[in-house]
């Protein structure tokens, strides 16, 4: 029997980051669809490059920026966040620089990013909400909102869309 996980009550200061996790999960879904559709790996490499530079890199930087204000430097959760972000960046670099292209790199990025997002949503954000002072959380959220631009995925071609089979 599959265990159902109840939705987390998210502090409003973390909502912009939490909302963007949807984009990260959608990115992973698009990678899986691209592999399933037999998309040229060069196109998928271009998409990974685009998504990292236009969406994910800044998202990771904002999370780290926020936690710098809310958690001590040596906090294990903060350290884990930084380490996982570096791992994701290293995978992106392997895909960007990799030759020959390897489908497994896309699969590893997909799984690692999904696991990372789930950890942030299920463990890190509830932890931050529990240990950070509410005034600090509110101020950090206001600062984040002020510097945060909504991100939009405009990559083309839309390789993740299924192609109708020729008759």
Burial-class residue 146 by CB neighbours within 10 Å (0-12, 13-18, 19+): exposed
pLDDT score of 51: 97
User: Nearest 5 degrees, angle CA 57-CA 111-CA 27?
Assistant: 50
Sequence-ordered alpha helix ranges (H) in 41-122? 41-51, 57-70, 76-97, 103-119
CATH number, domain with residue 135: 1.20.120
pLDDT classification of 64: cutoffs 50, 70, 90: very high
9 assigned to some structural domain: no
Give yes or no for residue 23 having a pLDDT over 60: yes
6 assigned to some structural domain: no
Is residue 21 a contact partner of residue 121, using CB atoms and an 8 Å limit?
yes
| pLDDT tens string 105-123 | 999 999 999 999 999 999 9
24 assigned to some structural domain: yes
Q: Which of 26-35, 49-58, 80-89, 154-163 has the lowest mean pLDDT?
A: 154-163
162 assigned to some structural domain: no
Q: Which residue has the higher pLDDT, 99 or 152?
A: 152
- Split into its structural domains, the chain has a count of 1
The DSSP letter of residue 16 is H
Range of the domain at 93: 15-147
142 assigned to some structural domain: yes
pLDDT score of 167: 37
**Long-range Cβ contact pairs of 73-82 (< 8 A, separation 24 or more):** 77/123, 77/124, 77/127, 77/128, 80/119, 80/124, 81/120, 81/124
Mean pLDDT (whole number) for 122-129: 95
43 assigned to some structural domain: yes
How far is it, in rounded angstroms, from Cα 47 to Cα 53?
Answer: 10
């Amino acid at each position: 029997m599959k265990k159902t996980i109840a939705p987390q009550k998210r502090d409003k200061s973390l909502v912009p980051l939490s909302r963007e996790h949807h984009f990260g999960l959608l990115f992973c879904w698009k990678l899986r669809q691209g592999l399933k559709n037999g998309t040229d790996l060069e196109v998928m490499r271009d998409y990974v490059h685009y998504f990292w530079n236009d969406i994910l890199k800044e998202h990771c930087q904002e999370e780290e920026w926020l936690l710098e204000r809310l958690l001590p430097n040596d906090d294990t959760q903060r350290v884990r966040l930084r380490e996982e972000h570096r791992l994701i960046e290293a995978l992106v670099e392997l895909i960007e620089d990799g030759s020959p292209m390897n489908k497994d790199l896309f699969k590893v990025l997909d799984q690692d990013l999904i696991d990372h997002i789930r950890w942030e949503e299920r463990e890190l954000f509830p932890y931050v909400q529990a240990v950070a002072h509410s005034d600090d959380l509110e101020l950090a959220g206001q600062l984040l909102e002020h510097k945060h631009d909504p991100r939009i995925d405009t990559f083309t071609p839309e390789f993740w869309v299924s192609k109708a089979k020729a008759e």
